[in-house]
Structure 1
């Protein structure tokens, strides 16, 4: 028996009846020989972690654009926090932690530079629109590995594309990630906003704090425990009405106080204008696109290639490219 076969046997005895077992995966878009050591979902985790797009997450904005300080979240740290919350919930519900982790680590691979500001800009100028969850699937299917894609399993791909809007994921593991994403970003954005002086502890409505708690840890614990309790013996991952309403109210508070706050978001217009000008430049000069995107240009058009290129940029790289193209360089007399 190989290590993979042993692990699949362990899953059969360890996981609950609602879990998605690796041996029952619908498989990959392109059939591959199974790994002798890792299950298919473990293999997907490794493919995501070793990908270029995953490494770039450390230099992509979560909420605050280029904050001064070392402790603000990036898209990378957000992804890691989602992963930890999701795995905790999955383990408590006897679901497949490997599948959950693969979805969590891959869910934001398609996110733009400058967070949702970049996403809104690309959505407004890209024919057919743009959504980061769709781009995340495109990254793993088409853009990674010089155009070959990562060839992930159907369950991981489904969880990635269903992690935020529209239909629910087909697996409970994918549904766990969707809620874990919300739990993570609302709470770590509160912590970052407090650190940045955007809000103060007393600003959070008392009615919400009485249900979810008064500290970061208390809120995370209350939300996670509620998902576990409410989802037992259910056909879907859910929250209790009281806690679900409190989290929705907390999210509304964050939109009013942080996500649209000029102090926190005042630079977004500049970032969007920068991306707009980059998009227009490469539309007019597609030969300047890197070689990786020339095949996309030929097969799917200039707009698609330009969108893929810009969506994959990190914040510093976008600024660097804009500077090279549009900011006059100092002239030195030799």
Structure 2
């Protein structure tokens, strides 16, 4: 049973291009399925989360991260009486706009695109699902429901001020009411992202030996998790001990979100999804105390993992790859694949060409970007330094 403040598929605002409804799937289920079958979703398999994907088979990629986010999001959504299919669709799609090499690639592309309207991975996700996926006879993009597009656009809160061009262009055709908060389902997908990466980045950092289990056990929240494991399983194997502690850390985050959400929902007493959008604040969030502890954990990860010497060296090398691919394609648009050349022929001016080039580079996987760089720029394979 859906809560009164959940998104009901029967009351969806529909799709930009009207379609006949499925007889056995809700509109949000169809959105989820289209996302899973999208080319951009498959490419997440070989896109960086923290470590460049070829550095090891055990590290998270954008695809495995998205699956973990969806698992967390469905759990929270179910407890709160929200629409699990919409929540899952948003969780699976939230990183579709990421470039190769994670945030490093995004930073490089954003600098290159600064004269042409900038680049933002959230806005790029909208561009992908509304334009760049071109498989259907009647429309470009995936023709997702208004609720899914709204959630992708503003899952981190209202979007105001100067809009990224990719978002502004679509919003002019299909008003996503960017000034309001998104549905509770979108807010759950956003916080599930935080839960997932705070948990799995600790896993990956340990595997990469960028910090020790003892250092982890000194951090807030984790101190109690390790103490509970040691009390219950004295003398436990080293690897099982840290896994059990991280399991408990994961649970603490999810339980905190659920408790805070229940409190906020009881206070606001929303009677519809519109009440959630007009609440003036997010209703799905961490408690202040846990958020403060998470900031200390983030500071630890930033210093010891995200800015570890080997990771910094990798960042410099892959930044160079993006920095050299972009001007190459600007000067040689004929090197783009043939399915892109019609867009190039119709492009009017340098800005239009730059946006096509950015779309192409943003869609690349790590390995394909390295391969294209080797083929077109250096003439030799590019070997990215490993983290260690």
TM-score over 0.5 for the pair: yes
Q: Which runs of 5+ in 1 are unaligned?
A: 1-13
Q: How many residues align?
A: 317
1:200-211 equivalent positions in 2, closer than 5 A: 200-204=212-216, 206=218, 208-209=220-221
**Contact 1:211 / 1:246 at 8 angstroms: preserved in 2?**
no
1:52-63 equivalent positions in 2, closer than 5 A: 52-63=39-50
Give, in whole Å, the separation in 2 of the partners of 1:15 and 1:228. Answer: 16
- Corresponding residue to 1:41 among 28, 39, 50: 28
Give, in whole Å, the separation in 1 of the partners of 2:224 and 2:7. Answer: 31
1:15-164 equivalent positions in 2, closer than 5 A: 15-126=2-113, 127-145=116-134, 148-164=140-156
Greater Cα offset, 16-25 or 138-147 = 138-147
Aligned counterpart, 1:239 = 286
1:85-127 per-position Cα deviation (integer Å, ceiling 9, x unaligned): 0110000111100000000111111110011100000010112
Give, in whole Å, the separation in 1 of the partners of 2:347 and 2:148. Answer: 26
TM value normalised by structure 2: 0.77
**Contact 2:157 / 2:181 at 8 angstroms: preserved in 1?**
no
Give, in whole Å, the separation in 1 of the partners of 2:192 and 2:223. Answer: 18
Q: Secondary structure at the match of 1:266?
A: helix
1:275-294 equivalent positions in 2, closer than 5 A: 275-294=322-341
Give, in whole Å, the separation in 2 of the partners of 1:140 and 1:296. Answer: 17
Aligned counterpart, 2:249 = 219
Relative contact order higher in (CA < 8 Å, ≥ 6 apart): 2
Structure 1 stretches of 4+ with a deviation exceeding 4 A read 164-169
- Corresponding residue to 1:313 among 357, 364, 367: 364
- Corresponding residue to 1:249 among 280, 290, 296: 296
Give, in whole Å, the separation in 2 of the partners of 1:111 and 1:165. Answer: 19
Let me know the Cα RMSD of the aligned residues: 2.0
Q: Secondary structure at the match of 1:206?
A: coil
Greater Cα offset, 231-240 or 26-35 = 231-240
**Contact 2:222 / 2:249 at 8 angstroms: preserved in 1?**
no
Give, in whole Å, the separation in 1 of the partners of 2:219 and 2:103. Answer: 29
